[in-house]
């Protein structure tokens, strides 16, 4: 059987909504909206925009931020079963996220084990939050300033030759990994964009849909 690996996005995919947006709506002064718009119209890189957004939040709010997301963020239906399915099938499951460690890890608590969690990191030692980017764009990324560069992470993994790469995501930051994946499970913006660009993909709403799609892959 072909070896398979899964790269799965976090915000808007594993959680139903984007956690950075949730935090900014609740805690940031209004300037954050201009930064969000600049990221979306691509006049500012994700790295610069997200870094600047978090620099609006005082470090002393850390516990409040985590608490807020633990109480408000919702994990998409079927995720636990999906993790279990990957484990049973022996498919390494990597979480590759443009989110930040201080909320990605607590929200995933109790769901592992994962083959790896790749995300950005927050530094709370200064008066305001600063973000570190441990997984920047490699020389092959034509985009630049991705923050956590998903195709670069993919290239850095030791993937067996001929393995099938499965990408799961919802948004613009997943597009580059979708382009290089063998199978794409997509929702929302990513599904629309795959449609526009003619990238074959399987739409999903819950992780039960994902299990089903990958089970069919087992039989094929
Ligand atoms: Mg996402
Ligand atoms: Zn990049």
What domains lie within the chain, and their CATH numbers?
A: 4-219 (3.40.50.1000)
pLDDT tens digit sequence for 19-62: 999 999 999 999 999 999 999 888 999 999 999 999 999 999 99
112 vs 11: CA distance, rounded Å? 17
User: Measured in angstroms, how far is the CA atom of residue 220 from the centroid of ligand 2?
Assistant: 33
Say what the pLDDT of residue 89 is: 94
pLDDT tens digit sequence for 84-138: 999 999 999 999 999 999 999 999 999 988 999 999 999 999 999 999 999 999 9
Beta bridge partners of 154: none
User: Measured in angstroms, how far is the CA atom of residue 188 from the centroid of ligand 1?
Assistant: 9
Give the mean pLDDT of 3-23.
97
Q: What is the pairing mode between strands 164-169 and 202-203? A: unpaired
Say what the pLDDT of residue 198 is: 96
pLDDT tens digit sequence for 123-178: 999 999 999 999 999 999 888 899 999 999 999 998 888 899 999 999 988 998 99
Say what the pLDDT of residue 220 is: 40
DSSP for 58-76 reads: BGGGHHHHHHHHHHH--BP
More confident residue, 18 or 172: 18
Q: Residue 217: pLDDT band by 50, 70, 90 thresholds? A: low
112 vs 127: CA distance, rounded Å? 33
User: Measured in angstroms, how far is the CA atom of residue 2 from the centroid of ligand 1?
Assistant: 27
Quote the Cα angle for 4-90-120, to 5°. 70
Q: Where are the alpha helices (DSSP H) in 1-113?
A: 19-27, 31-40, 46-54, 62-72, 79-89, 101-108
User: Measured in angstroms, how far is the CA atom of residue 184 from the centroid of ligand 1?
Assistant: 14
**Residue 139 CA: which ligand is closest?**
2
User: Measured in angstroms, how far is the CA atom of residue 194 from the centroid of ligand 2?
Assistant: 19
- Check if the beta carbon of residue 129 is closer than 8 Å to that of residue 55: yes
Q: Residue 218: pLDDT band by 50, 70, 90 thresholds? A: low
């Amino acid at each position: 059987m072909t070896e398979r690996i899964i790269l799965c996005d976090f915000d808007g995919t594993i959680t139903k909504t984007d956690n950075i947006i949730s935090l900014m709506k609740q805690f940031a002064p209004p300037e954050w909206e201009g930064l969000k718009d600049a990221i979306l119209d691509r006049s500012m890189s994700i790295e610069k925009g997200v870094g600047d957004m978090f620099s609006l939040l005082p470090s002393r709010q850390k516990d409040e931020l985590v608490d807020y997301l633990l109480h408000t963020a919702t994990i998409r239906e079927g995720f636990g079963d999906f993790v279990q399915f990957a484990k049973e099938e022996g498919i390494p499951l990597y979480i590759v996220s443009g989110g930040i460690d201080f909320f990605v890890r607590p929200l995933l608590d109790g769901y592992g084990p994962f083959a790896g969690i790749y995300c950005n990191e927050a530094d709370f030692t200064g008066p305001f939050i600063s973000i570190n980017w441990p997984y920047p764009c490699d020389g092959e990324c034509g985009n630049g300033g991705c923050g956590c560069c998903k195709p670069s992470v993919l290239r850095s993994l030791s993937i067996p030759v001929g393995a099938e790469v499965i990408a799961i995501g919802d948004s613009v930051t997943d597009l580059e990994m979708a382009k290089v994946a063998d199978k794409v499970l997509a929702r929302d913006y990513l599904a629309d964009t795959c449609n526009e660009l003619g990238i074959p993909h399987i739409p999903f709403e819950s992780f039960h849909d994902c299990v089903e799609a990958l089970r069919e892959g087992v039989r094929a």
